[in-house]
Amino acid sequence: MLACRFVGVFPLANTFFMSQVRVRFAPSPTGFFHIGSARTALFNWLYARHTGGKFILRIEDTDKERNSEAFLQVIMDSMRWLGMDWDEGPEVGGAFGPYFQSQRTELYQTKLKELAAKGRAYEKDGAWWLRLEGARTAAYDDHLKKDYEKVDAAPMVLHDMVRGQVARVEDRDFVIFRSNGEPVFHFVNVVDDIEMKITHVIRGEDHLSNTSKHLELFKAFGVEPPKYAHIPLILKTDGPGKMSKRDKGALIEEYQQRRYLPSAVRNYLCLLGWTPADGKEVLPIDEIVRQFEISAVHQSNARFDERKMSHVNAQTLRNLPAAEFAALARPILLETKVIDAAISDARLTEVLGIVQEKVISLEHLPEFMGFFFTADFKKDEGAKANLTKKGGDPVARVRELLPALEAAEWTEPALEAAFAAVGAAHERKPTDYFAPARFAISGQGGGAHLLGVLRVLGRDTTLARLKAFIA
């Protein structure tokens, strides 16, 4: 009684208490898991977590020829890697299963009969059609060279949560069951959204044009449709085209192989069509969940930006607690034989302490920091060629630098002062000495902060390498 009055007074509270958000990600396992699908899954997951609703994984595997078990596994592995847990679906179960469309054929037959009994479905040429409502006239479609009945229909208006009002006329009956007895995508998609009590459909904009058919089906079943949110396409880095599975950076697996942090990939995916309110783009998932709103999803297309993705990864690495970074780095460095098991935690932590803020991906760590552990490090030929462009003869620069470093106390401020003094003595910028020194001790053209590198590499090793370079 009290609850009713409460609800009556606060209609918004009504929706809040009465209906729990139920969203679904409905992939067809016909190919590898690409970032567009991952982003769609993620926006659904975020919305479920933001609202305290349920996130359902439904497998749209009605196309027997193109579906594969292997692709399904990739989708589930990638979702788990990205930390998207589902509340209902394969391997999890739930009250509205089975969650594979291939296991729901009986239901689709029953629902077809339901429409037929209502007079809203009819058979023609072996296929089953949805009968639209409205006055009919015969029409001829030149393009398809076909006669059909045209329905004098008013446009369907969709109030899309992202696109706003979208109107579209559906004026031809359409097939819902093919003559081979298989149900059509539109039909199973809507039947399952009804049966699984989906409240919000968040999907790619490529499905916007299907939505009028879906609304017609909801109408035919006499069921209130869910709210729709069509999220923008992801364009490839350059040019007008949509990101395709063949584009570099398109597959989630790639990032796994390149040892990107799943939390960074997930963070970047969130930014493809959505911006946090305060503009701070690298942030923990709890914070994204708290801030995420469908109404804030962009209407304009998103553009994939590989550099931004790696920036987010680098930033996320930098934000990790040192111990966590070390725990990720250690096995990679062991596996690539950069370190051996005998290395002390203290030494490893010291070295990682200066590379953590500069490394872009864990994948680069072995190359990035190998020189700390061996004098037999690789020399970057490109970096070598660049040395003479700035600062002239690198051997001469290192020769000038050596006595100053030999005399210096081994602290960053003292080393910095030594560079400045050498620069002043030879009427050069101190930076003219940075690149030759770095190359001499590491074989690289870039890397962690140079003074930190010198400090951690230590006096003896540094001086020995500078001498070897001169020789």
- Of 217, 112, 228, 219, the C-alpha closest to 174 is 217
What are the residues whose beta carbons fall under 8 Å from the beta carbon of 97, sequence distance 6 or more? 88
Minimum distance from residue 157 beta carbon to ligand GLU (Å): 19
DSSP-derived 3-state class of residue 65: coil
207 binds ligand GLU (CB under 6 A): yes
Minimum distance from residue 168 beta carbon to ligand GLU (Å): 16
Query: Could you tell me how far CA 40 lies from the centroid of its own chain?
Result: 9
Q: Are 147 and 155 in contact (CB under 8 A)?
A: no
Minimum distance from residue 25 beta carbon to ligand GLU (Å): 7
DSSP-derived 3-state class of residue 43: helix
Q: Which stretch binds ligand GLU (CB under 6 A): 21-29, 65-73, 299-307, 323-331?
A: 21-29
Q: Which of 26, 82, 271, 451 binds ligand GLU (CB under 6 A)?
A: 26
Q: Are 24 and 198 in contact (CB under 8 A)?
A: yes
DSSP-derived 3-state class of residue 461: helix
184 binds ligand GLU (CB under 6 A): no
Q: Which of 203, 266, 358, 465 binds ligand GLU (CB under 6 A)?
A: 203
Minimum distance from residue 240 beta carbon to ligand GLU (Å): 22
Q: Measured from the CB atom, is 27 or 370 closer to ligand GLU?
A: 27
Q: Which stretch binds ligand GLU (CB under 6 A): 7-15, 20-28, 164-172, 423-431?
A: 20-28
291 binds ligand GLU (CB under 6 A): no
DSSP-derived 3-state class of residue 354: helix
Buried b (16+ CB within 10 A) or exposed e, 2-17: eeeeebeeeeeeeeee
Q: Are 11 and 51 in contact (CB under 8 A)?
A: no
27 binds ligand GLU (CB under 6 A): yes
Token duo for residue 15: 């929706």
Cα 242 from Cα 341, distance rounded (Å): 47
Q: Measured from the CB atom, is 27 or 391 closer to ligand GLU?
A: 27
Q: Which stretch binds ligand GLU (CB under 6 A): 200-208, 245-253, 318-326, 438-446?
A: 200-208
The residues in 69-98 that bind ligand GLU, with binding defined as CB under 6 A, are: none
Would you give the binding string for ligand GLU spanning residues 41-70, x where CB under 6 A is met?
Answer: -------------------x----------
Q: Which of 21, 22, 23, 28 binds ligand GLU (CB under 6 A)?
A: 28
Cα 130 from Cα 4, distance rounded (Å): 40
Q: Which stretch binds ligand GLU (CB under 6 A): 22-30, 277-285, 361-369, 411-419?
A: 22-30
Q: Measured from the CB atom, is 60 or 205 closer to ligand GLU?
A: 60
Minimum distance from residue 75 beta carbon to ligand GLU (Å): 10
Q: Which helix (H) or strand (E) holds 413?
A: helix 412-425
How many chain residues touch ligand GLU (CB under 6 A)?
8
- Of 318, 401, 346, 287, the C-alpha closest to 46 is 287
Cα 195 from Cα 187, distance rounded (Å): 12
Interface residues with ligand GLU (CB under 6 A) are 26-28, 60, 189, 201, 203, 207
